[in-house]
Structure 1
Amino acid sequence: MRRNIFVRLGRGDVTSAEGAADIIIDMIDNFGDLDRGLGQLLDRLFKLGARPSEAAVDLMIMATAVYAADTGVSRERYADDGWTRMIDLSVPVAEPELWRHQHDHLSRMLQFLTGDHWSFTFRHRPDEFQSFTKQPEEMDFTDFTQVSLFSGGLDSLIGAIDLLASGQRPLLVSHYWDGEASSAQRQLLEVLKDRHEDAFESVRAYIGFRKKDFPEAGSDNNQRARSFLFYSLAVVAADAVASTDKVLIPENGLIALNVPMDAHRLGSLSTRTAHPHFIRSMSDLVKVLGINVSLENPYRFKTKGEMARECLDRDLLAELAPTSMSCSHPAQVRFESAPPQHCGRCVPCLIRRASLAAGLDGPDTTQYFLDDLKASTLDSKSADGKNIRSFMFAAENLRQNPGRARFLVQKPGPLDRDDLDAYVDVYRRGMDEVSEILKGVRTKHV
């Protein structure tokens, strides 16, 4: 079932498309300012003396609308096959013709990311919102060497530590909605600021949507489009500052490739948050929109354990690692009468545990709900055992057929031929890391 979504800039933004919309998303608050956390992000950049282009602001509004649709339209209710949704977005932009030329590219990259069919209608912004940028209070004297994503996870923490330890001056950009991510970001930034004083600045964007925003749509918790939003926020920041045009996406190669553990997790059923193909597609979109920003994953050929082991300040990493948040669903353990924490059994948790075992000199002091993987035999049908069994199965298949790695790394999406050998190698090394912590773990199919 196709869902039509109308993104509205103020009550005066009325067209015939609004009447045909299933969902209306208001982007302007009652005071006439940009809403949904976007206005606060721009204000923070203005206070830094930075000013983004209107094209970059359009990208941010577009990404927020896509994120709203992705999290607000229920797959169960509106996907004919139980997964693939058809979503039409009507979005106001400063230069509609520029965006119309990118319609097919935008649709393809979002289909790759979310597994859905996306279609767009672009129209002019209303007259009163032709410009969202304003002259900063001060001139841009910032000297940032790069913008780097800071999610509060272990990889982004290592990325920030490496930049600071090497004498760089990054602008760290965060997106948060849930309390766990927000808490991790805030605590980590406080310690980093205490240790490195004025060596960096940070911008945090509180962007999300509640069921009450469009309750008739249902909801979807997969958040496949979050990386499009996160990258767009970083692009806005990099476009705004005069000193850098580089956005860094710190993500280990195993997670970036995200090769399905088994044949049932193909396509968008395995997330493509930092897949090289999506990063390249995003970079292409940014370029044709006239935004002079490049995106790069500096750790794409490293495992998570190698990132930890080669971190330029391992003492600080060991101190802060337990505060970082890697779990895909830390709040889910509440159904088992536990407070939000690392579950210890999802794919990101397993890769995290393996990386800290391989990369730290001391023990991993992170609190995991499933603390001891070897304490008992794990049911492979249960939450405790299903991902562990899948990892063990995939690792054994790879051990018996090492040549399949070249085929497997290409299943989630296309890769640069020149980099293929490096991706195959990081996949093998990453799987070896996880296999190491699973030695002696017992599972059974009950």
Structure 2
Amino acid sequence: MTEYRVRTDLSGQLPTDPHVRVLDWAPGRPEATIQLGKQAGGRFLDGWRAPREALDLLLLGATAYCADKTALRTETADGWTRSLEVSIPVVDPKRWQDSGVGSVLNFLTGDRWTVNTYEEPLSPIKGLTRVPEDVTPVGPIDAVCLFSGGLDSLTGVIDLLEEDPDRRLCLVSHNEGGQASTAQEKLVRELKAHYGPDRFIAKQLFLRPAPENNLQQRPLPSPRENTTRARSLLFLTTALALAASVGPRTPLYIPENGFIGINVPLTRARSGSYSTRTTHPHFIKGLQEAIHQLGVSNPILNPYRLKTKGEILAETLNPDLLQRLAPYSVSCSHPEAARYVQKRQGNCGYCFPCLIRRASMAHVGWDTDPQSNYAWDALTGKELLDRSTARAADLRAVINGAFNDRPDRDILRNGPIPDGEHEAFIRVWREGLSELQDWLHNASDHTKARLERHGHI
């Protein structure tokens, strides 16, 4: 069991047990072990204020993310499942007792979470000079939309703005620097140039476990876990706080295709660690129920939950703009990987999200210049299938899994489908596999040879 205690009052006593890790929340201060903002006095919280219930949720997301990143899976018996206990200061601990947030986290990250709370009347943003004293909207907006800088979120923003010419959005991003940050900033500039500066505001959150310094009372251990399944909870709770600052019914949009949402394992061996649940309908439903219990009623909506990625692109409300901006988006699991072999950084081309991206682009005829848009070209298999490399693992799984005769019940391998929508998600899954198959039929060289060996072409 790895234990964490969150403090918003750094004048209090440290846990007597030296093995308890301390997550000190003190935005803009070097003593913090939860770093918010790249520099002292980070500006993400400036000018708006959410109700206390929503701020407590934001603190939960930050806690889960920092615990997730500082508890190594390699130190567990099975190399994956951790036992994590967190204690969080909130305004009303009784409300949290039956909220189910621990079960939501268990499903999301594949761990065993225990979420304890203790009463803290003072707000976690008490004393921040640029934060209003009363609840204050983040801006004159109608909805909040997650904006990762990926292709789905880009399409979602374009469609939401095109669908209603009067709709104004708050776009929420999270990053720790690198290619994701670059993509987000570039796309925001392009969208503002097209739609004008009044259609949306952009809030970019930089949050991570703080590097050790001599002002911290109990620094966090330095190794970092790279699976970070709890990142989506941080992303969602931050966006919910922004939405709640506007009003209890201000919606939060999470544009993500349904094929990757249910994320059916390509092979039996890829269940568990390979099968993320970032937007799985069971996770979203559980989170919505939990936040209602905790006093936050903003609806969480995914307009693409029953569409494939290719269908999203084909049905966009502004195909010309999307096609022009799509190359700037980054849908990659590890966009920095190419740096180590002196290739173009951005979309690697060999991870599962990149393969889904290319299949969807091919579906609408946009997969025309892979050499410029990807560090590795999966359709040729060069430097992937022509040698023994871990980089080819996702491509091999797609080749072996996309063409198999799979039973419908496989859609349940990554979690239950709520609300009687099994048939709808079976359709999404089958169509998503068809997009992969159609794209792979254009393979050449080593990739085509592997397909031929398995009797797929």
Output the TM-score relative to the length of structure 2: 0.87
In structure 2, the CA distance between the partners of 1:247 and 1:353, relative to structure 1 (3 Å rule), is same
Q: Which amino acid aligns with 1:239?
A: A
Which residue of structure 2 lines up, in the alignment, with residue 218 of structure 1?
223
Q: Which amino acid aligns with 1:68?
A: C
Measured in 1, the distance between the counterparts of 2:28 and 2:309 equals: 45
Matched, 1:233 2:238: yes
Which residue of structure 1 lines up, in the alignment, with residue 343 of structure 2?
338
Which residue of structure 1 lines up, in the alignment, with residue 393 of structure 2?
386
Matched, 1:94 2:91: yes
In structure 2, the CA distance between the partners of 1:326 and 1:389, relative to structure 1 (3 Å rule), is same
C-alpha contact (below 8 Å) 1:40/1:205 kept by paired residues: no
Greater mean alpha carbon deviation, residues 216-225 or residues 84-93: 216-225
Which residue of structure 2 lines up, in the alignment, with residue 111 of structure 1?
106
If each structure's helix is expressed as a fraction of its own residues, which one has the higher value? 1
Measured in 2, the distance between the counterparts of 1:32 and 1:186 equals: 26
Residues 126-145 of structure 1: pairs in structure 2 closer than 5 A: 127=122, 131=126, 135=132, 140=137, 142-145=139-142
Measured in 2, the distance between the counterparts of 1:18 and 1:247 equals: 41
Which residue of structure 2 lines up, in the alignment, with residue 420 of structure 1?
422
Measured in 2, the distance between the counterparts of 1:163 and 1:139 equals: 24
Matched, 1:148 2:154: no
In structure 2, the CA distance between the partners of 1:13 and 1:301, relative to structure 1 (3 Å rule), is same
> How big is each residue's C-alpha offset from its partner over 1:382-441, in whole Å with a ceiling of 9 and x where there is no partner?
24432122112112213xx5xx1x211111011025211110001011111111121133
Q: Which amino acid aligns with 2:184?
A: Q
Q: Which amino acid aligns with 1:387?
A: D
Identity across aligned pairs (percent)?
34
Which residue of structure 1 lines up, in the alignment, with residue 216 of structure 2?
none
Cα offset for 1:127?
Answer: 4.9
Q: CA RMSD in A?
A: 2.8
Q: Aligned to 1:216, what secondary structure does the other structure show?
A: coil
Which residue of structure 2 lines up, in the alignment, with residue 254 of structure 1?
259
Which residue of structure 2 lines up, in the alignment, with residue 122 of structure 1?
117
Greater mean alpha carbon deviation, residues 306-315 or residues 122-131: 122-131
Which residue of structure 1 lines up, in the alignment, with residue 201 of structure 2?
201
Which segments of 5 or more consecutive residues in structure 1 lack a partner in the other structure? none
Measured in 1, the distance between the counterparts of 2:155 and 2:391 equals: 28
Q: Which amino acid aligns with 1:118?
A: W
Measured in 2, the distance between the counterparts of 1:431 and 1:421 equals: 15
Cα offset for 1:53?
Answer: 0.5
Residues 27-426 of structure 1: pairs in structure 2 closer than 5 A: 27-29=25-27, 36-37=35-36, 40=42, 43-44=45-46, 46=47, 50-77=48-75, 79-102=76-99, 105-125=100-120, 127=122, 131=126, 135=132, 140=137, 142-166=139-163, 167=165, 168-197=167-196, 198-210=198-210, 212=212, 214-216=219-221, 218-242=223-247, 244-360=249-365, 363-364=368-369, 367-371=373-377, 373-374=379-380, 376=382, 378-379=385-386, 381-398=388-405, 401=406, 404=407, 406-426=408-428
> How big is each residue's C-alpha offset from its partner over 1:68-102, in whole Å with a ceiling of 9 and x where there is no partner?
0101111112x122111111112111112212232
> How big is each residue's C-alpha offset from its partner over 1:110-169, in whole Å with a ceiling of 9 and x where there is no partner?
111111111122112265858579537997595422211000000000000001112222
Which residue of structure 2 lines up, in the alignment, with residue 22 of structure 1?
20
Cα offset for 1:319?
Answer: 1.1
Which residue of structure 2 lines up, in the alignment, with residue 442 of structure 1?
448
Q: Aligned to 1:442, what secondary structure does the other structure show?
A: helix
Cα offset for 1:21?
Answer: 4.3
Q: Which amino acid aligns with 1:397?
A: N
Q: Which amino acid aligns with 2:397?
A: S
Q: Which amino acid aligns with 2:189?
A: E
Which residue of structure 1 lines up, in the alignment, with residue 431 of structure 2?
429
Cα offset for 1:270?
Answer: 1.0
